[in-house]
Amino acid sequence: MRKDEEIMMEYRAGSVDALEEIFQRYKKPILNYAFKLLSSFADAEDVVGEVFYILTSRKNSYEPVAKFSTWIYTIAHNVSIDRIRRRRKILFFWQKKDKDGSSYEELDIPDTRFMPDSDAEDSDIAGYVKKAIDKLPFQLKEAIVLRQYHNLSYEEISAVLNCSLSKVKILIFRAKEVLRKELLPYMEEIR
Amino acid sequence: MIFIHSKMKKLISAYLDNEVSEKEKNLVEEHLKKCTFCRKYCENLRKLSSALNKYIEEDLSPDLEQRIKKNFLGEKYKGVAKMKNKKLIFGISSGALAILIMFVFVGHIYNYAKRSVCGIYNESSGVMGSQYSSDLSFARKQPRAFSVYNANKARSTTGNFPAITALNGSKAREYEMVQDDEPWITTTDNSSAGWRSGIGGNYQSKPLSVAAIKSAANELSQEGPIVIVEPYLPATGKEDKLIRNADATLEVKDIQKVYDEIVKIGKGKNGYLAAANFNESANGRVNAQIILRVPKEKFEETIDEVRKLGQVKRFDIHSVDVSQDYNALVSELNTIKTVYDKIADKLKEKKTDIQQAIRLESELTPIAKRIAAIRNKISEYDNLISVSTITINLYEVSWKLMIQESVKETKQRFVAFVSSLLKNSITLLPLLVIICVVVIVCVVLTKKLVSAIKNIFTKKTS
């Protein structure tokens, strides 16, 4: 299997097929990453489109020194942040300020399309997991999502989030702590 | 111990993610063997990881995938870029257009307002009549003549410059004049606007030069509109031969009752009712004109009593000094009488023959006629001087009528407004089209924004 970086360099050289391959590889991860962050499927779809738009428009700025996954997730991270800011501008009059001012909790608008809506489905662990992730503060959510679902190393995460490695460690630990407490009653069902 | 656990928790978290050094890994593994609490914690985190993996991954819908491919991949990307650029250009140009429209619109309104004020001003000059055209042309040169006049300033200034009448909007305003702390009633009607006389004392006019009036006008024009009116020279009031008349317009509730009152006042002052007529106008308003004649000694008392009968809408007292005419007539009468007496004496002489007598008789006849005419004139003057004429115009106050009139006036004004609006609309038509387009664009954008917000909140609340 060819490396992402090689494919990207091919695309830089002008291969449309290479772009198609990148798209096929990353469309789903980017969509899920954005969906987890924004809790809105429509927004997540928009993010995918925008990420690939940026990717194509800034293809020449990519250098193979960095991992391609880090680069594309950085783009997705920036696009998601941008979208949240835009959303905040619209909702500024409803927004409650967090004590530390760093949380976007109020802006995490849940997408109910995939939420379990009956009592039977409530017992579905996936639904609780989604709820618990949705509740997480934005930075914690981003760190744990990148680690848990996209297998990025702490170092790659620090590059995406543009923060120190130690901070990533703390973010992931805190996220796990919150999720553990939140999901503890349901974890007995997990074997 | 708690500190060790809390530190160890962080290490266990990183350990499970394979993000620890070899040394840390050994440390964690050693600790886990000894500590059941941390072992349980580690187990919990493993379970958590398994739980998190239960999260259902989503995929792009096929149609969206197609759309993204079409829009952002391959050659199509260029089109999208162009589309984005087009949006930017459209945004900038529409913003610039909106600013331009605002400037044009504001400028147009400003010019229109200026023109409208000029219109009002010209209208007012029409009200004043041709008598003051030269003065108005002077006032027209004053750009500040369009602003609202300061009544207080007018009061104080007109005390010094009685020839100045303030003009506000389209109607000439009358101000009570203050001269030597004595109240004076000015008589400024539009047909003869100017000063005539006052009651309660003698008034000496101060003739003002045109330059002095213009300088006063300059001073006043800082405050508001002014129109200079040449003074109507008042009677000196020093002679006995003054014909004093008054015109009053009163608004009353019961015209018949007031009529009776006026007759009573007239009788009480040894005067008489010279004439009276009642009529109902086309709009249903009942009017009456009563001419009262009272001895000159009772003139002021009568005026005071008449003024109390209703709401004074207009009061005009005017005096005509006929001393010169009167004295001329008297001296002429004396002269002619001397000549008459001499001829009559000659006629009486017995020496006079028939022929001479006839000639003298023919000379005497016109002189006698002239004497009779002069005596008539003097007696007329005496009558006018000794008895003053007070003309009282009465009209009834009727709510119904007032409403009718106001409705009529409103209707007229509305028609005038609509017609002027139509006239202006034709000139503004191109601008209106642009404004309509801008408004439509704004409405569409607002609707989109509102629906977007609604969507977001529907999701949030559900």
Query: What is the per-residue DSSP string for B308-360?
Result: TTSEEEEEEEEEEE-HHHHHHHHHHHHHHHHHHHHHHHHHHSTT--HHHHHHH
Q: For chain A, report the end-to-end CA distance as a whole number of angstroms.
A: 33
Q: Do A49 and B54 count as a contact with CB atoms less than 8 A apart? A: no
Residues in chain B within 8 Å Cβ distance of A53: 71-72, 77, 80
Closest among B96, B220, B43, B225 to B149, alpha carbons compared: B225
Q: Do B10 and A173 count as a contact with CB atoms less than 8 A apart? A: yes
A40 touches chain B (CB under 8 A): yes
Query: How confident is the model at residue B3, as a pLDDT?
Result: 56
CA angle B217, B219, B224 (to 5 degrees): 75
Residue B120 to residues A121, B167, B168: CA-CA distances in angstroms?
79, 11, 10
Per-residue pLDDT band for B325 (boundaries 50, 70, 90) equals confident
A184 touches chain B (CB under 8 A): yes
Only one residue has tokens 């702490």, namely: A154
Look at residue B119 and tell me whether its pLDDT is greater than 50: no
A152 touches chain B (CB under 8 A): no
Tokens, residue B156 = 């104080």
Quick check: B290 and B392 in contact, CB under 8 A? yes
- Closest Cβ opposite residue B44 in set A169, A173, A180: A180
Which of A55-69, A98-112, B163-177, B268-282 shows the lowest mean pLDDT across its residues? B163-177
Q: What does the pLDDT look like over B10-49, one tens digit per residue? A: 888 888 888 888 888 898 888 888 888 888 888 888 888 8
Q: How far is A28 from chain B (nearest CA, A)?
A: 5
Q: Give the mean model confidence (pLDDT) for residues B154-183.
A: 36
Higher-confidence position of B68 and A50: A50
Average pLDDT across chain B, whole number: 70
Q: Do B14 and A53 count as a contact with CB atoms less than 8 A apart? A: no
Query: How confident is the model at residue A125, as a pLDDT?
Result: 78
CB atoms within 10 A of CB B85: 10
Which of B184-188, B211-215, B306-310 shows the lowest mean pLDDT across its residues? B184-188
User: In CATH, what number is assigned to the domain containing residue A52?
Assistant: 1.10.10.10
Look at residue A99 and tell me whether its pLDDT is greater than 70: no
Query: How confident is the model at residue B391, as a pLDDT?
Result: 92
Residues in chain A within 8 Å Cβ distance of B57: 28, 32, 149
Query: How confident is the model at residue A17, as a pLDDT?
Result: 83
Q: Do A130 and B55 count as a contact with CB atoms less than 8 A apart? A: yes
Mutate to test the interface with A, among B18, B52, B456 (most CBs of A within 10 A): B52
Quick check: A132 and B48 in contact, CB under 8 A? no
- Closest Cβ opposite residue B60 in set A16, A27, A190: A27
B450 touches chain A (CB under 8 A): no
Look at residue B296 and tell me whether its pLDDT is greater than 80: yes
Q: B397-426: string of b/e by CB count within 10 Å (b at 16+)?
A: eeeebeeeeeeeeeeeeeeeeeeeeeeeee
Look at residue B111 and tell me whether its pLDDT is greater than 70: no
Element housing A180 (H / E): helix A165-187
Q: What is the tally of structural domains in chain A?
A: 1
Query: How confident is the model at residue B237, as a pLDDT?
Result: 46
CA–CA distance, A64 with A80 (Å, rounded to integer): 24
Higher-confidence position of B233 and B301: B301
Residue B12's closest chain A neighbor by CA?
A173
Which of A2-11, A69-78, B80-89 shows the lowest mean pLDDT across its residues? B80-89
Q: For chain B, report the end-to-end CA distance as a whole number of angstroms.
A: 46
Domain boundaries, position A47: 4-187
Residues in chain B within 8 Å Cβ distance of A57: 77, 81
B81 touches chain A (CB under 8 A): yes
- Closest Cβ opposite residue A48 in set B13, B47, B60: B60
CA–CA distance, B194 with A180 (Å, rounded to integer): 99
CA–CA distance, B287 with B307 (Å, rounded to integer): 17
Establish, for the pair of chains A and B, how many residue pairs have beta carbons separated by less than 8 Å: 126
Query: How confident is the model at residue B376, as a pLDDT?
Result: 93
B14 touches chain A (CB under 8 A): yes
A41-57 helix and B62-72 helix, angle to the nearest 10 degrees: 30
Query: How confident is the model at residue B179, as a pLDDT?
Result: 35
CA–CA distance, B371 with B44 (Å, rounded to integer): 143
Higher-confidence position of B183 and B291: B291
Residues in chain B within 8 Å Cβ distance of A177: 9
- Closest Cβ opposite residue B54 in set A20, A129, A180: A129
3-state DSSP: chain B helix, strand, coil percent, rounded to 5? Answer: 65, 15, 20
ipTM of predicted assembly, 2 dp: 0.79
Element housing B287 (H / E): strand B286-295
B62 touches chain A (CB under 8 A): no
Residues within 8 A of A (CB atoms), B 18-57 only: 19, 44-45, 47-57
A115 touches chain B (CB under 8 A): no
Q: What does the pLDDT look like over B51-97, one tens digit per residue? A: 888 887 777 778 777 777 776 665 444 444 555 566 778 888 888 88
Q: Give the mean model confidence (pLDDT) for residues A58-73.
A: 85
Query: How confident is the model at residue A173, as a pLDDT?
Result: 92
Element housing B20 (H / E): none
Quick check: B52 and B16 in contact, CB under 8 A? no
Question: What percentage of chain B reaches a pLDDT higher than 90?
Answer: 5
A3 touches chain B (CB under 8 A): no
Which of B199-208, B220-229, B345-354 shows the lowest mean pLDDT across its residues? B199-208
Closest among B394, B173, B200, B203 to B304, alpha carbons compared: B200
Query: How confident is the model at residue B459, as a pLDDT?
Result: 62
A48 touches chain B (CB under 8 A): yes
Q: What is the largest CA-CA distance in chain B?
A: 182
Max mean pLDDT range (A22-26, A110-114, B69-73, B150-154): A22-26
Quick check: A133 and A141 in contact, CB under 8 A? yes
Query: How confident is the model at residue B178, as a pLDDT?
Result: 34
Spell out the domain ranges in chain B. 2-50, 119-228, 235-397, 407-462
CA–CA distance, A65 with A62 (Å, rounded to integer): 9
Contacts 24+ apart (CB under 8 A), B373-378: B374/B329, B374/B332, B374/B333, B374/B336, B375/B333, B377/B329, B378/B326, B378/B329, B378/B330, B378/B333
Residues in chain B within 8 Å Cβ distance of A176: 13, 45, 48
